[in-house]
Amino acid sequence: MHKTAIIRCEHFNAAHRLHNAHWSDAKNKEVFGKCNNPNYHGHNYDLEVKVIGHCDPATGYVIDTKILSTLIKKNILDRFDHKNLNLDTEEFRELNPTAENIARVIYDILRKELDQALDLKIKLYETARNYVEYPY
């Protein structure tokens, strides 16, 4: 039997600033554009957490969605929702909070919470037109 993927969609709002402290202000502005605004700006992030595995014959579930949604709420939404990622979170104090880096951080956090038999993929939309996938 093939594996099945189950996807939980979540949402959070957060502020950020993309900036490389080793670069001049001009270079930062050139590379990061509006996302370099010194006073930060917000995004409405849409998050898709995909869990892949074999269905448990006893339940018919890959993972109970109640368990998955609680896991995401406790570990991701409570940590990042309505936060300034640069100032309010440990994860992005030094790490540039690009969509790529946010997706990887979310993966690393959730990976530790999930059964090793399950595969995990993260899709993070920064805007309706831009999203990243990790791992790829």
| Active-site residue, 35 included | yes
Which 17-56 positions form the footprint of Ni ion (CB under 5 A)?
Answer: 35
Is position 62 an interface residue for Ni ion (rule: CB under 5 A)? no
Q: To the nearest whole angstrom, how small is the minimum distance from the Cβ of residue 62 to Ni ion?
A: 33
Nearer to Ni ion, 114 or 132 (CB): 132
Is the CB of residue 134 less than 8 Å from the CB of residue 103?
yes
Q: Residue with the closest Cβ to Ni ion?
A: 35
Q: To the nearest whole angstrom, how small is the minimum distance from the Cβ of residue 41 to Ni ion?
A: 6
Nearer to Ni ion, 37 or 69 (CB): 37
Neighbours of 51 (CB within 10 A): 21
Beta strands in 72-130 (DSSP E): 83-84, 119-125
| Active-site residue, 133 included | no
37: Cα separation from own chain's centroid:
22
Nearer to Ni ion, 45 or 134 (CB): 45
- Of 82, 94, 100, 133, catalytic: 82
> Following DSSP, what letter does each residue of 19-82 receive, concatenated?
--TTS-HHHHHHHHGGGG-TT-EEEEEEEEEEEEEPPPTTT--SS-HHHHHHHHIIIIIHHHTT
- Of 16, 19, 43, 126, catalytic: 126
Tell me how many residues contact Ni ion (CB under 5 A): 1
Which amino acid, one-letter code, is at 97?
P
- Of 11, 35, 91, 133, catalytic: 35
| Active-site residue, 30 included | no
CA 97, CA 103: separation in Å to the nearest integer?
9
What does the binding site for Ni ion look like in residue numbers (CB under 5 A)?
Answer: 35
Kindly list the catalytic residues.
35, 82, 126
